[in-house]
A = this chain, B = another copy of it.
Amino acid sequence: MARAWHLKSRPDGTPTHDNFELKDIELPSVEDGQVRIRNLWLSVDPYMRGRMNESKSYIPPFQIDAPMDGGAVGEVVESNAEGFATGDLVSHFAGWRDEAVLLAKALTKLPELSARAQDFLGNLGVPGATAYFGLLDVAQAKPTDIVFVSAAAGAVGSAVVQIAKAKGMTVIGSAGGKDKCDFVRSLGADQVIDYKAGPILTSLREAAPDGIDVYFDNVGGDHLDAAFARSRLHARIALCGMIGGYNSREPQGFRYMIRMIAMRVTMKGFLYGDYVGRLDEFYREMGALMAAGAVKSHETVVDGLENMPDAFLGLFTGANTGKMLVRV
């Protein structure tokens, strides 16, 4: 019998264990064009919080008492579809469970790169591509730029730091607490800010006395306001996460947004999905950076499907360094 996490109730503010329930599910038989997958790795992502609300977003909300889903990497254990054989490794979107029967077209065979399976949920997956295209395409970062990135110890942020350094940029990363800051420093960041140690604006002023050209935003709030305050002429802000705002229904206050006018700042929201047509370019470039050792993988692994809610809740208390994964 397969098992899948279900959303039992919609969280009000920060989620709790009571919002989730692990239930047995009946898998259908594998029909023509379908395969059965045994999941190896499940992705645990901040954006999933948004799907727990009822409101429509860029991705449909989770339904109450239905299996949840998300990114995953698994192994084909039974195939009735051309092109897929037992033992093939695939990425797909039927996460939050141990097994699934899926149409072949819902699967992506992992490309032939000298990388581990779980990398395709990290630096070679959604977080890595989000970092790559957000930094280089959305924010148009150039080698001479001073780049500020928040949540720099997270899955996306740690990739941003490493890609930016590999391209010759000056990088300021922020993270919460000494361990995470040490980690960000180990990634090559030129300056590291512990946002728990004092007002982010004060820290950023010290870390970037000449201001910043790019801000890769993963958290919104005070970090974004500090970026407004320190933006240089023609600075670019890529809006990706705003994890700080996911659990909150309070408005975010900004004192320095008005500087966007004087400094002609451009701020853009974007999603990974905008770039699926350019994944070949990404695999080629990011694969090369990883093969050269310029971008390394860092993950926090929680073992066991039954601990998926722990892993998810940990995102909001800063439990992860790098990509948060569940090993099934």
Contacts and interface: CB of A to CB of B under 8 A. Distances in A.
A239 B261 contact: yes
Contact of A268 (B225, B240, B266, B269): B266
A262 B58 contact: yes
Given A252-B254, A253-B252, A269 B260 contact: yes
B274 A268 contact: no
A261 B266 contact: no
A270 interface: yes
Q: Bin the interface of chain A by size.
A: 20 to 34
Interface in A258-288: 258-271, 274
A239 B267 CA distance: 11
A178 to B, nearest CB: 30
10 contacts: A220-B258, A240-B261, A250-B255, A253-B253, A259-B269, A260-B269, A264-B268, A264-B271, A266-B268, A267-B268
A242 interface: yes
A261 B269 contact: yes
A251 interface: yes
Interface in A130-155: none
Contact of A263 (B253, B262, B269): B269
A186 interface: no
A61 to B, nearest CB: 12
A252 B264 CA distance: 19
Nearest to A252: B254
A57 interface: yes
Given A266-B267, A268-B266, A257 B252 contact: yes
A239 B249 CA distance: 25
B262 A269 contact: yes
A245 interface: yes
B266 A242 contact: no
Given A251-B253, A254-B252, A267-B266, A58 B239 contact: no
A237 to B, nearest CB: 9
Given A254-B251, A254-B252, A271 B261 contact: yes
Contacts of A245: 258
Contact of A261 (B225, B249, B261, B270): B270
Contacts of A259: 269
A281 B235 CA distance: 27
Given A266-B268, A267-B267, A268-B266, A58 B255 contact: no
Contacts of A261: 58, 239-242, 269-271
Interface in A24-82: 57-58
Contacts of A257: 220, 242, 252
B253 A239 contact: no
A262 B258 contact: no
Contact of A260 (B262, B267, B274): B267
